[in-house]
Structure formats: C-alpha cells, structure tokens
Amino acid sequence: MGTIWSKGTSATEAVENYTVGNDRILDMKLAKWDVLGSKAHIKMLKSIGLLLPQEEEILQKGLDEILAEIESGNFSLADDIEDIHSQVEFLLTERYGELGKKIHSGRSRNDQVLVDIKLFLKSEMLEFRSEVLALFHKLQQLSEQYKDVLLPGYTHAQIAMPSSFGMWFGAYAESLCDDMLMLGAAYRCANQNPLGSAAGYGSSFPLDRDMTTKELGFATLNYNSIAAQMSRGKCERFVAAAMGQVAYTLNKLAADCCMYMCNNFAFIKFPDELTTGSSIMPHKKNPDVWEVMRGNCNRIQSLENELALMTTNMPHGYHRDYQLLKEVLFPALDLLHNSLGMALYMLEHIEVKRDILKDPKYKYLFTVEEVNRRVLAGVPFREAYISVGREVNAGKFDSCTYNSVEELHHTHKGSIGNLCTKEIALKMESAAKW
C-alpha cells in the first residue's frame, strides 16, 4: 500500500533513499581508509588461518588496484551499492570470484566504518596541525616585524591603553597554542583501533587485534568492544570541540580585521584585489573575506552542539542516527581547512598603519602611564589615580605622549616591550608534539 506522498516509487526504494541520504557521496572521503582497513584485516585473517597465503596475496593485489583507482580519481560507487564497504567487497568479488566474499569474516560494517572514520579523522587532525603551524609562524613573524609599531588598545570598545601590532599579532599566535592542545586531544581520541569489535560484541574468531593496531598505525586499542562502538559520535564530538576552538580564534581575528579596516580606525589595509567594492559607492573597500570567515567560524563553533544534540539519549550500541554525523562534520572540516588557508593568505598581504597614536583623540590613552609616572615619583597609587581622573574630567589632562615602545618602558613578560616570542614558540612546539 502506497503512501499519500508516493509518486510511484516503491516503499522499499523510498525507505532506502531516505535512510541512505548523502551517505554514498560522503563515503568517498572514506574510500582510501576503507581499503587500508581491509588490507590490514585480511593480513590478520591469514595469520589466524582464515585465509590461505595465496588467497591473501590475491586479495591484497585486488585491494591495491582499488586503492590506485581511488587515488587516481577513477573510483566511484555504483548506483545500486549502498556504501563504500559494499563497493569494495563487490569489486573484489566481481574480479576474483568467491574469494572476494571472504574479506568480511570477523568484522561488521559497524567496526569497519569506525576504522574508516578514525583513520580519516587522524589524517584531518594532522592536516589541521600543519595549517595551524603555518598560520602561527606567520603571526609570530608579523609580531616581530611590527613589534615597535604602537596601536591603541580598547576595552568595552573604548580607548584604553597603548598596545602594539607586535602584541596584537603575538596574541593570536599564542592563542593558537591552546587550540593545538585541543587538536592533539582529538587526535589521541581518534588514535585508538576499534577493528575487531565487530557489531559491538566481538567475534568468536581468534582475531589478533594487536596486529591490526600495528598495521594501521594506531597508538592503542579501543579494548572493550562495547566501548569501541560507544566511541562513534564521541570521537566526532572531540574533533568538533577542537575545531570550534580553532574557529573561535579565527573568528576573533576576523572580527578585529573587520573593525581595524573600518575608516574610523584605518589601522590596517589590504590590496584592492583582496577586498570588494560597492555596486553604488565607488570608494568602498569592503572586508568581505573577513566577514565571511567570521560567519563561517561561528558555524563551525556550533558544530559541537549540533553533534551533541544528534547523539543524546542513545543507549549503547550502533544506531543509524550516527550516519547523519558525517553530513554535518565532513563539510565543516573542509570549511575550516579553507578558512585557515584564507587567513594565512590574507595575513601575507596585510599592511599596518604607523604613527596612529599621534591622532589627538588618543590623548587619554596615556592616563595609566601618567598615574604610574606619579607613583614612581612617590605619590600613592590611589591619590595619583584620583588626581589624574579629576584632570581628565576638567579637561586639564596634559600628559606627554609616547611615540615608541621604548619610551613606554613596559618590560615585564608578555608586555608590549617583552613579547616573549621565543617562549611562545616553545609553547607551540610542545603543544604540537602528538
């Protein structure tokens, strides 16, 4: 019996279309890892006597052929094949007969997809590490290059105290150190082998899980088979949380750049070809790249919450809901890669304005310096604070201005006169060791 929304499609097809969704397209990202997982698995099957040496040799050759097709872009899922796992097994069976049907012994699609995703996410985290390091080094280089160029600092969007471009660039460099720690945690979560957990309850075959762990380059096992299955969704949430931290840093950098490019600030600028104009106002140079990055990074930060909502209130074991995680996670991975690359590209072309603090509106930027000067002369801090405040309110504050970092005499660690660039580099070096 058809439904009221049926257009001649059978119920079976309708159900399949709904449940499969975009999975066949997304599975292409897992193709390489699925083949590598199968190669390790059949090597293990031979070691425990479930495959003859000559059978394993033939299957390895077949899997290598499929892997070459994937890497050359000549691989695709047939229209009537549900997922990557089935496609690989189908091709082996088509090419080598009944032998192809032996590769699935001792495993389920559940632990198969877990292996694929963890290998894939490990690779993604390593790529993020390289991209974050590249951005970090650029920020450190800019920090040193412009360490003597003063910049007004703001709190509550009000003129506050003197800062510098060195301090501004350096702040984002050090923030990436924290983000790198999160990426490392996500990598370690993914770096555990679930293969052999089957559908969540293991197998009666004497599977050598230590062997497949070594073959696939995992650091350790998901030992408990149920725990291995429970890592589905949890691993993705670890990754999403780490991505959210990187996106948080990029979002704030993008927001700063949008503000600093504003004509009312005009602290930084970019070449015309990296900005966009207006369809009606010929003078406009809009920060479109940074605006889009700001929005995209907000989307990435929301990913962890979306994954949490999708995986809440599930008992242990596999549920088809987990399939949906790929639909939100995989595009977000690409989005963050692109955002990191674009941030680096933009910073390679940034231009900073000098002599900003000569503008009279920054006169009160030096009230704290004046308070400190009086304290050093022997005036109690509170008295100095009150007297300077009264001078400001009466329009009589006339402190000398400071034109260089050296004149300000900020020497403690982390101040504009002592950026600790080398120390921050060591912090990143430690954070990136995973």
**Which tens digit of pLDDT belongs to each residue from 257-306?**
999 999 899 999 999 998 886 567 767 788 899 999 999 999 999 999 99
Residues of the chain with CATH 1.10.275.10: 16-104
CATH of domain 16-104: 1.10.275.10
Taking the chain (434 residues) in runs of 10, the rounded mean pLDDT of each run is: 45 69 79 96 96 96 96 87 85 92 91 95 98 98 96 92 95 98 98 94 94 97 94 95 98 97 93 78 82 97 94 86 91 97 97 91 87 92 93 83 74 92 97 96
Contact 345, 138 (CB under 8 A): no
Alpha-carbon distance 282 to 264, whole Å?
A: 18
pTM for this prediction: 0.91
For position 77, what pLDDT does the model report?
84
Four-residue CA torsion sign, 53, 55, 56, 61: positive
For position 3, what pLDDT does the model report?
37
Average pLDDT of the chain is: 91
Q: Looking at the domain 109-355, which fold is it?
A: Fumarase C; Chain A, domain 2 (1.20.200)
Residues of the chain with CATH 1.20.200.10: 109-355
192: CB partners within 8 A, 6+ apart: 118, 218, 219, 220, 221, 222, 228, 231
